[in-house]
C-alpha cells in the first residue's frame, strides 16, 4: 500500500486514526527487464547484483511459478523498512514509487547474453575473464546453455510482452554464435517490437541488413578509434578496414540512421582530442549519423568514483565530442549509466 492509500484508509470506521507513512521504491528495470547471462538469469544489467531468477542456469527445467514469485518478492523489499535486506540497496536506478507504478508479470526487455566467445579481444572486455581471452573464429554453441529452448518457454509462459518487447542481443559476438539467426527468427515469429543488436562488426551479417531495411533493429558497434594501428591495440585483431567496410554497407541500408557507433574512452590509448576528431570525421565520411560517447565500463565497475575521481581531461574530451557532434549534425547517444557518470562526476550537475 502506498502512503496516499494508507492515509485514505485512516478514515475508515473502526480503524485507528493514526497511520505509519512509509516510503516505497520502484525500479523500472526490475519490472521490465529479464537478463539471460551466461552464469545466471537475473533482473537487470545495472552492474549491481539485483534480484536473481536462476543462479548458474545450464538449461534445466524451470519452475515458472517460483520464477514469477521472485519479482514480486523483490518488490516487497523496496520500502524504507526492508531496503537493507534488498539486493537493490543503494542502486541509483531506485526511485520513489508512484501510484501509477504497476508491477507486471511480463517483461518488456530481454537481454540475451548467454555466450562469451568472440572473434576479437578488446582490452576493455568485461567478459575476458570468462572467455579467458581466447579469440574464436568459427560458429559455436554457447559453452553455457542454449537460449532458443528458454526463449520458447518464456513465450509459452506468457512472460514476454510481445507487442512491446525489445530484444537486446549482446554477449560475446553474434558472428560466432550458432544460435544467432535462429534466435532472431524465433523472436520475429512469436512477436517482438524491436531489436538492439551489438556486434564488433568484423563479420558482415546479411540478416542485420534485412532487419535494418525492415526498420526493426538498432545496430550498435564500437569502433573506438579512426586508425588501424590503434584498433589493433584496442581489439587485438587486425580488422579495422573490414569493420569500416561493413559499416559503410549497413549505413547504406534503408534505415542506416539506426546504426550507431561507440567511442569507448580508454585511458592512455584513445583519450585525446585528435583521435576523437578523426573518429567523428570518419563517421561523417562513411555516413554514420549516430555515435555514442562512453567511458570504459570495466573501469567504472571497479572504481569508486567518489574516492578516485575520473581523469581530469575527460571533461574536456566529453565537451569536445559533444561539440563535434553538434557541428557535424551527428546524433550523440548516451547510455543511461554514462549519462549519470558524466552528469555527476564530469559536469557536476547532480
- Would you tell me which residues interact with ligand SF4 (CB under 6 A)? 27, 29-30, 43-44, 46, 48, 50, 88, 91, 93-94, 118, 120-122, 125, 127, 172-173, 200
Residue whose CB is less far from ligand SF4, 64 or 92: 92
Residue whose CB is less far from ligand SF4, 89 or 315: 89
Least distance CB 48 / ligand SF4 (angstroms)? 4
Residue whose CB is less far from ligand SF4, 236 or 284: 236
DSSP β-ladder status, 33-37 and 40-42: antiparallel
Residue whose CB is less far from ligand SF4, 117 or 253: 117
Least distance CB 316 / ligand SF4 (angstroms)? 26
b/e per residue, 118-147, with b = 16+ CB within 10 A?
Answer: bbbbbebbebbebbeeeeeeeeeebebbbb
Least distance CB 12 / ligand SF4 (angstroms)? 33
Cβ atoms 50, 44 nearer than 8 A: yes
Cα 36 to the chain's mean position, in Å? 12
Least distance CB 91 / ligand SF4 (angstroms)? 3
Q: Which residues pair with 40 in a beta bridge?
A: 55
According to DSSP, residue 135 is labeled -
Least distance CB 184 / ligand SF4 (angstroms)? 18
Residue whose CB is less far from ligand SF4, 232 or 315: 232
Cβ atoms 176, 138 nearer than 8 A: yes
Least distance CB 26 / ligand SF4 (angstroms)? 9
Cβ atoms 22, 3 nearer than 8 A: yes
Cβ-based neighbours of 188, under 8 Å, separated by 6 or more: none
**d(C-alpha 332, C-alpha 234), whole Å:** 22
Residue 302 sits at φ, ψ, to 5 deg, of -105, 10
Least distance CB 86 / ligand SF4 (angstroms)? 7
Residue whose CB is less far from ligand SF4, 232 or 320: 232
> For residues 46, 117, 153 and 101, what is the CA-based torsion angle, rounded to 10 degrees?
10
Cβ atoms 293, 264 nearer than 8 A: no
Closest listed residue to residue 171, CA positions, set 303, 37, 49, 72: 37
Residue whose CB is less far from ligand SF4, 125 or 230: 125
Residue whose CB is less far from ligand SF4, 109 or 216: 109
Closest listed residue to residue 192, CA positions, set 251, 107, 98, 70: 107
Least distance CB 304 / ligand SF4 (angstroms)? 17
Amino acid at each position: 500500500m502506498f502512503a496516499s492509500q494508507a492515509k485514505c484508509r485512516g478514515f475508515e470506521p473502526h480503524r485507528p486514526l493514526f497511520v505509519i507513512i512509509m516510503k516505497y521504491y520502484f525500479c523500472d528495470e526490475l519490472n521490465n527487464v529479464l537478463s539471460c547471462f551466461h552464469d545466471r538469469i537475473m533482473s537487470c544489467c545495472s552492474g549491481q547484483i539485483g534480484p536473481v531468477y536462476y543462479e548458474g542456469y545450464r538449461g534445466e527445467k524451470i519452475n515458472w511459478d517460483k520464477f514469477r514469485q521472485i519479482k514480486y518478492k523483490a518488490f516487497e523489499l523496496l520500502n524504507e523498512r526492508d531496503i537493507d535486506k534488498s539486493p537493490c540497496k543503494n542502486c541509483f536506478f531506485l526511485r520513489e514509487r508512484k501510484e501509477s507504478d504497476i508491477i507486471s508479470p511480463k517483461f518488456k526487455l530481454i537481454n540475451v547474453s548467454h555466450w562469451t566467445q568472440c572473434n576479437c579481444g578488446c582490452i576493455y572486455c568485461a567478459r575476458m575473464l570468462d572467455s579467458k581471452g581466447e579469440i574464436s573464429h568459427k560458429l559455436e554453441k554457447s559453452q553455457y546453455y542454449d537460449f532458443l529452448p528458454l526463449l520458447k518457454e518464456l513465450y509459452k509462459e506468457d512472460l514476454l510482452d510481445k507487442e512491446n518487447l525489445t530484444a537486446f542481443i549482446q554477449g560475446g559476438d553474434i558472428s560466432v554464435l550458432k544460435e544467432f539467426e535462429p534466435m532472431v527468427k524465433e523472436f520475429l515469429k512469436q512477436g517482438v517490437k524491436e531489436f538492439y543488436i551489438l556486434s564488433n562488426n568484423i563479420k558482415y551479417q546479411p540478416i542485420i541488413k534485412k532487419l535494418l531495411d525492415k526498420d526493426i533493429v538498432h545496430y550498435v558497434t564500437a569502433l573506438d578509434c579512426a586508425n588501424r594501428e590503434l584498433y589493433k591495440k584496442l581489439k587485438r585483431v587486425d580488422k579495422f578496414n573490414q569493420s569500416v567496410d561493413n559499416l559503410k554497407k549497413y549505413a547504406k541500408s534503408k534505415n542506416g540512421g539506426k546504426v550507431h557507433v561507440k567511442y569507448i574512452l580508454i585511458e592512455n590509448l584513445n583519450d585525446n582530442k585528435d583521435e576523437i576528431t578523426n573518429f567523428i570525421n570518419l563517421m561523417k565520411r562513411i555516413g554514420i549519423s549516430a555515435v555514442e560517447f562512453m567511458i570504459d565500463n570495466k573501469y567504472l565497475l571497479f572504481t569508486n568514483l567518489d574516492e578516485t575521481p575520473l581523469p581530469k581531461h575527460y571533461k574536456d574530451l566529453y565537451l569536445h565530442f559533444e561539440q563535434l557532434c553538434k557541428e557535424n549534425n551527428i546524433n550523440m547517444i548516451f547510455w543511461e549509466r554514462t549519462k549519470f557518470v558524466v552528469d555527476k562526476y564530469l559536469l557536476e550537475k547532480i
